[in-house]
């Protein structure tokens, strides 16, 4: 199947079935989204949504965050992953937002990345979700699913981002980020993708590679080889046990 066809099927399927996909992080304004996305690195959205209500109550804006320090912020986010670093990032982020941008979240990728804890991925999320910029953030789910589906063939997040930006219609970039994340989170999971319930098998490259007759034969041959090796291993173990026993007998 041609790559252009895959993109077409991908956009058609999700536009029809998930036309309103959005982030699962709870937020009410750009500042809150920025805080939530910084916190969500290496952590689940569910966990972040548990801590942000109290965090936003205490720190409703960049000014309150800037007036505090990492030690106090830590007490509100201690249950997320890497709380020490993230508390320092939020404290620094609040100060830079106040000093450089008057407390308003900037729209440019370079400006966003001036803040601690904000890398290209986070900057792309803010740019596309808040400012409708033609950008797509590549996290671990986007990276994996885009490669498996055959939308991209890339080994770095930046290469995935460039290929997606090049091939997806511009008006779908922001929502495609959510399509790929949600599909990766609930169906195309990292260790054992749930292909048996996936509606995308008919154009998925990974599925084709692992479920053609040749692929199945190869898997079967590999299984047999393993059994053979295991038998060999068992025989060798028995021989070595026997040899050990004989040497003990000799010592006696």
List residues near ligand SF4 by CB under 6 A.
148-149, 187-188, 193-195, 198, 200-201, 204, 206-207
Packed helices 120-131 and 30-40: angle between N→C axes, nearest 10 degrees? 150
For residue 232, the minimal CB distance to ligand SF4 (Å) is: 34
The yes-or-no answer on residue 45 being catalytic is no
Which of residues 86 and 141 has its CB atom nearest to ligand SF4 in the complex? Answer: 141
For residue 205, the minimal CB distance to ligand SF4 (Å) is: 8
The yes-or-no answer on residue 95 being catalytic is no
Which of residues 148 and 177 has its CB atom nearest to ligand SF4 in the complex? Answer: 148
Q: Which of 46, 121, 218, 233 is catalytic?
A: 121
Q: Which of 139, 194, 226, 251 is catalytic?
A: 139
For residue 25, the minimal CB distance to ligand SF4 (Å) is: 23
Question: Which ranges constitute the DSSP H helices of the chain?
Answer: 3-17, 30-40, 45-58, 62-66, 70-77, 83-101, 109-112, 120-131, 140-149, 157-167, 173-186, 205-211, 213-251
Which of residues 130 and 188 has its CB atom nearest to ligand SF4 in the complex? Answer: 188
In eight-state DSSP terms, residue 135 is -
Nearest residue to 121 (alpha-carbon basis) of 55, 226, 40, 195: 40
Q: Does 43 belong to an annotated binding site?
A: no
Which of residues 122 and 172 has its CB atom nearest to ligand SF4 in the complex? Answer: 172
Q: Does 204 belong to an annotated binding site?
A: yes
Contact between 115 and 122 (Cβ < 8 Å): no
Q: Does 195 belong to an annotated binding site?
A: yes
Backbone angle region of 236, left / alpha / beta, with phi > 0 → left and psi within -120 to 50 → alpha:
alpha
By CB neighbour count within 10 A (0-12 exposed, 13-18 middle, 19+ buried), where does 121 fall?
Answer: buried
For residue 198, the minimal CB distance to ligand SF4 (Å) is: 3
Binding-site residue numbers for [4Fe-4S] cluster are 188, 195, 198, 204
**Active-site residue set:** 121, 139
């Amino acid at each position: 199947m041609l790559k252009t066809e895959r993109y077409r099927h991908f956009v058609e399927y999700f536009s029809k079935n998930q036309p309103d996909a959005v982030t699962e992080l709870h937020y009410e304004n750009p500042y809150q989204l920025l805080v939530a996305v910084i916190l969500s690195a290496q952590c689940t959205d569910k966990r972040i949504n548990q801590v942000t209500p109290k965090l936003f109550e205490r720190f409703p804006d960049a000014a309150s965050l800037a007036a505090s320090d990492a030690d106090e912020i830590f007490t509100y986010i201690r249950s997320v992953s890497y709380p020490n670093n993230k508390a320092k990032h939020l404290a620094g982020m609040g100060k830079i937002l106040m000093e450089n941008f008057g407390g308003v979240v900037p729209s440019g990728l370079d400006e966003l990345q001036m803040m601690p804890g904000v890398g290209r991925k986070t900057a792309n999320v803010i740019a596309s979700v808040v400012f409708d910029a033609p950008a797509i953030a590549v996290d671990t789910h986007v990276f994996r699913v885009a490669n498996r589906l055959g939308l991209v063939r890339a080994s770095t997040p930046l290469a995935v981002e460039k290929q997606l930006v090049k091939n997806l219609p511009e008006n779908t970039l922001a929502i495609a980020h959510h399509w790929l994340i949600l599909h990766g989170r609930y169906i195309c999971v990292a260790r054992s993708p749930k292909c048996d319930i996936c509606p995308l098998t008919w154009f998925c490259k990974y599925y084709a590679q692992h479920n053609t007759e040749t692929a199945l034969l190869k898997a079967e041959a590999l299984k047999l080889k393993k059994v053979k090796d295991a038998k060999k291993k068992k025989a060798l173990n028995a021989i070595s046990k026997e040899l050990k026993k004989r040497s003990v007998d000799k010592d006696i």
